[in-house]
Structure 1
Amino acid sequence: MKKILSSLVTLVVTLSLQPSTPLKAKESLPKRHSLQLWYAQPAARWEETLPIGNGSIGMMPDGQVQQESIVLNEISMWSGSPEDPNNYSAYKQVSTIQQLLFSGKNKEAEKLVDQNFICQGLGSNFGNGATAPYGSYQNFGFLKLKHQIPGKVENYERSLDIQDAVAYTSFEANGTTYQRTYFTSQDENFGLVSLTADRKKSISFKLDFSRKEAVTSAEIRGNTLTIQGQLTDGKGGKGLTFAAQITLNIKGGTLRKEGSSLMVEDADQATILFAATTSYYGLPLVETLEGRLKNAQNSATEKLLKEHKKAYHSVFNRVRLQLNPGNSLEGAGSKISIPTDQRLAAFYKAPQLDNEMASLYYQFGRYLTISSTAPKMANALPPNLQGLWAHEINTPWNGDYHLNVNAQMNHWGVEVSNLSEYHLPFIAMIKRLAKEGEKTAKAYYNAPGWVVYMMTNVWGYTAPGESASWGASTASGWLCNHLWEHYLFTKDKAYLKEIYPILKNAATFYAHTMVKDPVTGWWVTSPSVSPENAFRLPSGQVASIVMGPTIDNQIVRELYGAVLAANKILALNDSYAEVLAQQLTEIPPAVQVSKSGRVMEWLQDYEEVEPKHRHVSHLYGLYPAAFISPQTSPEWAEAARKTLTVRGDEGTGWSRAWKLLFWARLQDGNHSLEILRQLLQPAYTAENPTKVGAGTYPNLFCAHPPFQIDGNFGGSAGIAEMLIQSHAGFIHLLPALPESWSSGSYSGLKARGGYTVDVSWENGLVTSYKITGNKGEAVDVLVNGKKSSYKL
């Protein structure tokens, strides 16, 4: 764990009267294009503000004309502290629980699990962990700008250009054109707000910083505002300290103190620079920030913006996607002139008329990845449940890392979408959890290896949650899927050698803790759950605890297979691989088909309590694993199709995203587009803004509800999966193309094996393609229904 500094936070705001040249009004406002979100009015709520970030800090301006609020975030802004919540007596009850499950007494077993296989202490405090040791990801604060804009406002527009990672607000008032420009530099770690007007002496505003709690003092000395504060460790003591530095450069005008605020009057231009950090990184706070802003303060805004764009383009421009606007359909054509909130509503009604909206949503997912984690930064954190954007002290579900699908979904698109290095902060977190999880394996099973359950935080939490029904699902095997997938896409043997012990130790835990089911003779996990779902026993009782749920069987199969493959690739001759190979022949098959023709969710064909449950965990073998495929296992694919039909298309935001991926893997393009349509259902309407449902907010954030970023990442991954697949031993081009995406092109998508793929198509058929990899290497490709070998 990081050493927590005991010093108080310092937030310094410096104002200079001799700034570098800011942007000029109208000069840099981009022309309308397909990679742009734009709106004709300010944000009325947080879910309408525009997210910008560089993986370390984030900002979300609301674009209000007179009283503007900009949400500020820093990804390590966590309360709480390291703890050991493991119950070291839990293992003593394992055999009793397992015997009850052998006897079909699941409810009695569940009672013992609830008493023993939960955490010690408060755990996540049922999602209210801000004051518990578990902690919560928190909002950093708010930058408040109270402007003085005379006259009636006209021609208002605010936008987010994801092509450049820059947001804008512009309007006219009293004959003056105002423009505000916002970005968080991908080149250096700071945020910038530029305020300009085309008439001199038009910039007047009051600047405040506010935060609801953890601030112990605030004072102004000269041109400097200093704020001190500290988060709680959840144990009655002091937790992380945090700091920010904001510099305000103005040209012309005057500056004065007004109470606890700073007032700028009659300036020609102004530029605000923002940087933030916390003691999580173990570095001196204010000194670190001063170093970040030193160069920025002496550089012209145009230069800072140019350097930001260059760094951002080097990553974002790796992939290009063009879907025809659907001009052959009546009412089709480019819709970029329509405000995004209205366009979202229109897409939900008729997605076939706006193919560019699908490509925008895909690239928005890539934009969010680049914006919410910083792989080049030391001790970088992966995106949490909200990426890095939060406006509350206790974010929903603590804004943590849910490991029964959500944190994983955050990373499903990184490899295929040519953002492989953005997997690394999550992989680094998995490595840390593997070490901490050794304690949890001992506590709950007295077993070797490592295990982590369904949630974690920045402090390395690995114990179960507070309730058996949702907190008892293991996630270590699922996390290993990410370790293995990164190798499959990169073919980096040095990396594979590094992660082999983690894969092996995860498998070791399962090998030592599985039991032989007396009915089938299979080795199965016990006790366990199918994440967050329940079933009805023959007695009529409802239970969650079982042995050998389908998702576990699939995960163990995949994990053992990865260890065996890695052992062979690295030529390790590890004798333990033979142990796993033998047990692999004695665990349940990846899929069991029920009498109804569906994939069974549990070892027995229990009655579902909630047939349309949001989790579809028993289709893990369809995605993200590769057990179910129309080409390699058509019977299982048909069972998966029937499962999804009964489950239904609706669900929470992230659930719809997962279903999009399922239907793409089943190679049904039209149904995939239907799920995308439902994923982009407006979360609320202008007529009834208080009734919020699943779908998408006006700023394209995914609505669980509330906001969870996993749906954005899952939806973007699903679109990529419609265009390219490589999990079944060959590269499949356009595997799930909807009829309305009849022509288009993409470049830069990745396939397993380290290949880069470019494709063009017309009338639903590939017209040209290029695969880049090691020269002379041959790869199997399925194109227009025909498989052939392609020599690179």
Structure 2
Amino acid sequence: MNKKFINSTLLALLCFTQSQAQQQKNNATAASQRQQKIDQFWTDRAQIKPLEKLSVAPLSLVYTLPAKVWEEALPLGNGQLGAMVFGGVADERIQFNESTLWAGAPQDPNNPKGKTYLPRIQQLLFEGKNKEAVELADSTLMGIPKRIKPYQSLGELWLDMPHLQVEQYQRSLDLETAIQQSSYQYKGIKYTRESFISAPANAMVIQYSANKKQALDLNFSWKRAQDFACLTDPKDPSQLLLQGQIGQSGSEGEKGTKFSAIAKVFLKGGRLTNTAGRITITGADEITLLITAATDYPGLKQISYPAKKTGIDPLVSCRETMRTLAKSDYQQLKQAHIADYQHFFKRVQLDLADAEQQKWKQVPTDSLIKLTRGQQQIPSALISKFFQFGRYLLISSSRPGHMPANLQGLWAWQMDPPWNADFHTNINLQMNYWPAELTNLSELHQPLFDLTSALIPFGERTARTIYGARGWVVHHLTDAWGYTAPADGVQGIWPMGSAWLAQHPWEHYSYTGDRQFLKEQAYPIMKGAARFILDFMIQIPSDKPFAGYWTTNPSHSPENSFILPSGEVSSFTYGATMDTQIIRDLLQNYIEASTLLDNDPDFRQECQAALQKLIPTQISKETGRIMEWIEDYQETEVNHRHTSHLFGLHPSNQISIANTPDLAEAAKKTLLSRGDHGTGWSLAWKINMWNRLHDGEHSYKLLYNLISEKTLPNLFDNHPPFQIDGNFGATAAIAEMLLQSQVRDKNNNYLIELLPALSKHINKGSITGLKARGNISVNIQWSNGVLENAELIPSKNGPICISYAGKQIQVEGIKGKSIQITSQMF
């Protein structure tokens, strides 16, 4: 390699790295300035003395001061309504979300030039003329418009009380009941505020109480950054209305989604006045606030292009909810909420023994995270809490009949949140649902399937218009309105989103064995995604590596780039490794589903033929690592946050120690080169990958880095900024340290692996209620790093192959009958 080439390559890499670093710095600065601009309007006037002696329950988040910024507030939710509770005293702030409050509308963004110019773009990429291909693709394949509109905050309820000097303050979130509580003393009187968001009631419920009568005085009003009005309800003086429509403040363009919210007061004692959009309460014994919200979003099953008027009046919807709730008192609402929530949450219990358990009972959650940074070890109490917090977030942000969890789950405080708080389909949306089946929350997977089904007609239009293909496609992101075209920039030309999304309904079937679901919802999703892939793939020319094989063109390894032999930095290519691994996963799963259902034998045969023409996953002769692209290009960023070319290791099962030891060793080298740090979600993904390599110590090391470096005071994952996928990915990772079931045995049954990635730092504990593929319930107990007992409860008769410590046994399963396993059996 000549000196001139080396210098040009280094210069290109340096410029790229500096430019990327500066852009990240600019983004962080802008985000910080936006945060300061918002938060300067909210401060708690009270002087606060914390509770002198804490007693922190194992599954509670506890703090001794109110939140000062949004990332310290505590999340509540029921899948439709979300709230972030700051826990203020004299000045309280509760920020609300409604899962369907998206700007924008259904549209046809597909570039009509696409299929005309696609062959030329493919030719340019095969010829190594990447820059020309990028320029042509940018003008002919990109969506019109290139951007989607954001998910938005609903608004904020601002409350104030005349308590300016208080003591014995604490606030908490109980993960076992999904109830937030704040308490303190003022002039010898104890004040308590309890909040939850109920799925049965479809409302947030807040109760103010004191241990002295006539001690409650309260004022509140609605706030929002734009497009709203706060009004006294003319029909009911106990109700305060928030009403608006996205875009109503602007002078140009169509108006968007309409929204409404009602805050209704129920009093015991005291007096209420409601004037000019502000409610004032004086001398009350007890105050209960009920808050509900709605939009005129038509629902995923009704979205269409062109858009149809829904006829939904969100204010009418809110009033109907309030009329229903008027029949229930606070205790009835609370009991119904707890019963509904615990129906999901109580299914899994994780207990990690900790000799210092008593010590942590007096440490606030934010302090516990800070203490972790200096220890190189995570308190077991924090691991359990972090694991269950992930399950709590999924229960709170993803419920059947509502939207799936987005980049921030359900919670976003801005009008224009980071990355639009959209559905990012090149890892993030999928990662949100990794814990759903494994941690026994299978029903909560359904919103993702419903979104996927709703995307099919939009994706079919994109496939026809841009690629001249059948089937359906989505690229690296989508929204509530069915956007499936390439977005943002040429890096968005990544037509693998539908193929990856199609993995999830198959996983749901693999865990549940629900044949009706497989036939009615999973199969159409999978077949349409496979149909697009077969039409989209192109044969590699005779002068290129792997001539005659089928590949994707154009292609990206999401958000990463490489250096061409010419020294040019590029990310646009053909045949990225991740594409081939996703396609192999999809086709194998589709073939199995088609065989089970005895459907479409001719198309099944097409898929089987295509499988034989896919490029095998390659190992670099130079580095010994998994190759990220079809050619062994030099990387621009060895520690890149995406580890896309290890899709075959996780979440797929194409790479395993048992079946592909050479690829597993190459995957290990790849992970080592990527490093042990990164963004929050990136660390979560890598923990799952180390789990699959059965390296519990490395998994634990990255879990430590995630919790100590990338976890916010309220346990939200920090990209930065906040992204919820790291929470969900880490919850799945903790579970897979203890149980895996993705590998097939010699009879093609799922192999149940017990404690496959257990670290010496969590060498004693128990977990109950996990699920293995094949619809098997699993309970595990271990001590001194050794399996003591495992209980398997199968849902059907048949052989079960179980692995522990590198050895396997087979037992005969009987539906519903407990199978006891000990380490002595191996």
TM-score of the superposition, structure 2-length normalised?
0.86
Instruction: Name the residue aligned to 2:168.
Output: 155
SS of the equivalent of 1:590 reads: coil
Instruction: Name the residue aligned to 1:39.
Output: 63
**Equivalence map 1:560-709=2 (5 Å):** 560-572=587-599, 574-682=601-709, 695-709=710-724
Instruction: Name the residue aligned to 1:338.
Output: 363
Can you list the C-alpha shifts for 1:565-624, whole angstroms capped at 9, x where unaligned? 111111225111111111211110134444210000000000001111111100101110
Closer, same or farther in 2 for the Cα pair 1:286/1:661, shift >3 Å? same
- Amino acid corresponding to residue 67 of structure 1 in structure 2: D
Looking at structure 1, the residues matched to 245 and 587 of structure 2 have their Cα atoms a distance apart, in angstroms, of 45
* 1:300 is the counterpart of 2:313: no
Looking at structure 2, the residues matched to 352 and 67 of structure 1 have their Cα atoms a distance apart, in angstroms, of 37
Closer, same or farther in 2 for the Cα pair 1:471/1:158, shift >3 Å? farther
Instruction: Name the residue aligned to 1:140.
Output: 154
Looking at structure 1, the residues matched to 239 and 765 of structure 2 have their Cα atoms a distance apart, in angstroms, of 54
Looking at structure 1, the residues matched to 232 and 639 of structure 2 have their Cα atoms a distance apart, in angstroms, of 55
Deviates more, 1:214-223 or 1:179-188: 214-223
Looking at structure 1, the residues matched to 63 and 54 of structure 2 have their Cα atoms a distance apart, in angstroms, of 14
Paired residues of 1:441 and 1:449 also in contact (CA < 8 A): yes
Instruction: Name the residue aligned to 1:360.
Output: 385
Residue of structure 1 aligned with 2:734, choices 695, 715, 719: 719
Looking at structure 2, the residues matched to 257 and 476 of structure 1 have their Cα atoms a distance apart, in angstroms, of 51
**Equivalence map 1:360-399=2 (5 Å):** 360-375=385-400, 377=401, 380-399=402-421
Q: 1:775 Cα shift?
A: 4.7
Closer, same or farther in 2 for the Cα pair 1:100/1:240, shift >3 Å? same
Paired residues of 1:413 and 1:716 also in contact (CA < 8 A): yes
SS of the equivalent of 1:138 reads: coil
Residue of structure 1 aligned with 2:568, choices 527, 541, 548: 541
* 1:196 is the counterpart of 2:220: no
* % identical equivalent positions: 40
SS of the equivalent of 1:575 reads: helix
Looking at structure 2, the residues matched to 344 and 399 of structure 1 have their Cα atoms a distance apart, in angstroms, of 26
Looking at structure 2, the residues matched to 334 and 777 of structure 1 have their Cα atoms a distance apart, in angstroms, of 47
* 1:240 is the counterpart of 2:257: yes
Q: 1:559 Cα shift?
A: 0.8
Paired residues of 1:597 and 1:642 also in contact (CA < 8 A): yes
Instruction: Name the residue aligned to 1:532.
Output: 559
**Equivalence map 1:409-488=2 (5 Å):** 409-488=431-510
Looking at structure 1, the residues matched to 599 and 88 of structure 2 have their Cα atoms a distance apart, in angstroms, of 62
SS of the equivalent of 2:142 reads: coil
Looking at structure 2, the residues matched to 712 and 244 of structure 1 have their Cα atoms a distance apart, in angstroms, of 29
Looking at structure 2, the residues matched to 284 and 257 of structure 1 have their Cα atoms a distance apart, in angstroms, of 24
* 1:186 is the counterpart of 2:199: yes
**Equivalence map 1:67-216=2 (5 Å):** 67-121=91-145, 123-124=146-147, 134-149=148-163, 152-216=165-229
Paired residues of 1:332 and 1:353 also in contact (CA < 8 A): no
- Amino acid corresponding to residue 238 of structure 1 in structure 2: K
Paired residues of 1:136 and 1:394 also in contact (CA < 8 A): yes
Looking at structure 2, the residues matched to 708 and 230 of structure 1 have their Cα atoms a distance apart, in angstroms, of 27
Deviates more, 1:469-478 or 1:717-726: 469-478
Q: 1:757 Cα shift?
A: 0.5
Can you list the C-alpha shifts for 1:314-338, whole angstroms capped at 9, x where unaligned? 110011111111x2xxx67651321
Paired residues of 2:619 and 2:666 also in contact (CA < 8 A): no
Looking at structure 1, the residues matched to 243 and 170 of structure 2 have their Cα atoms a distance apart, in angstroms, of 36
Can you list the C-alpha shifts for 1:459-506, whole angstroms capped at 9, x where unaligned? 000000131124435311111111211111111111112232321221
Q: 1:98 Cα shift?
A: 1.4
Looking at structure 1, the residues matched to 634 and 203 of structure 2 have their Cα atoms a distance apart, in angstroms, of 54
TM-score of the superposition, structure 1-length normalised?
0.90
Can you list the C-alpha shifts for 1:749-790, whole angstroms capped at 9, x where unaligned? 011111111111111111111111235322111123321112
Instruction: Name the residue aligned to 1:511.
Output: 534
Instruction: Name the residue aligned to 1:766.
Output: 787
SS of the equivalent of 2:407 reads: coil
Q: 1:173 Cα shift?
A: 1.5
Q: 1:103 Cα shift?
A: 1.5
Paired residues of 1:702 and 1:708 also in contact (CA < 8 A): yes
Closer, same or farther in 2 for the Cα pair 1:573/1:228, shift >3 Å? closer
Looking at structure 2, the residues matched to 332 and 285 of structure 1 have their Cα atoms a distance apart, in angstroms, of 48
Q: 1:300 Cα shift?
A: 2.5
Q: 1:116 Cα shift?
A: 1.6
Paired residues of 2:243 and 2:261 also in contact (CA < 8 A): no
Q: What residue ranges of structure 1 are gaps of 5+ in the alignment?
A: 1-28, 125-133, 683-694
SS of the equivalent of 2:433 reads: coil
Looking at structure 1, the residues matched to 693 and 580 of structure 2 have their Cα atoms a distance apart, in angstroms, of 21
SS of the equivalent of 2:74 reads: coil
Closer, same or farther in 2 for the Cα pair 1:217/1:362, shift >3 Å? closer
Q: 1:207 Cα shift?
A: 1.1
Q: 1:189 Cα shift?
A: 0.7
Q: 1:95 Cα shift?
A: 1.2
Q: 1:232 Cα shift?
A: 3.1
SS of the equivalent of 1:539 reads: coil
Deviates more, 1:244-253 or 1:214-223: 214-223
Closer, same or farther in 2 for the Cα pair 1:146/1:513, shift >3 Å? same
Residue of structure 2 aligned with 1:60, choices 76, 80, 84: 84
Q: Give the RMSD, CA atoms, in angstroms.
A: 1.8
- Amino acid corresponding to residue 144 of structure 1 in structure 2: W
Looking at structure 2, the residues matched to 583 and 33 of structure 1 have their Cα atoms a distance apart, in angstroms, of 55
Of Structure 1 and Structure 2, the greater helix share is in 2
Looking at structure 2, the residues matched to 579 and 297 of structure 1 have their Cα atoms a distance apart, in angstroms, of 59
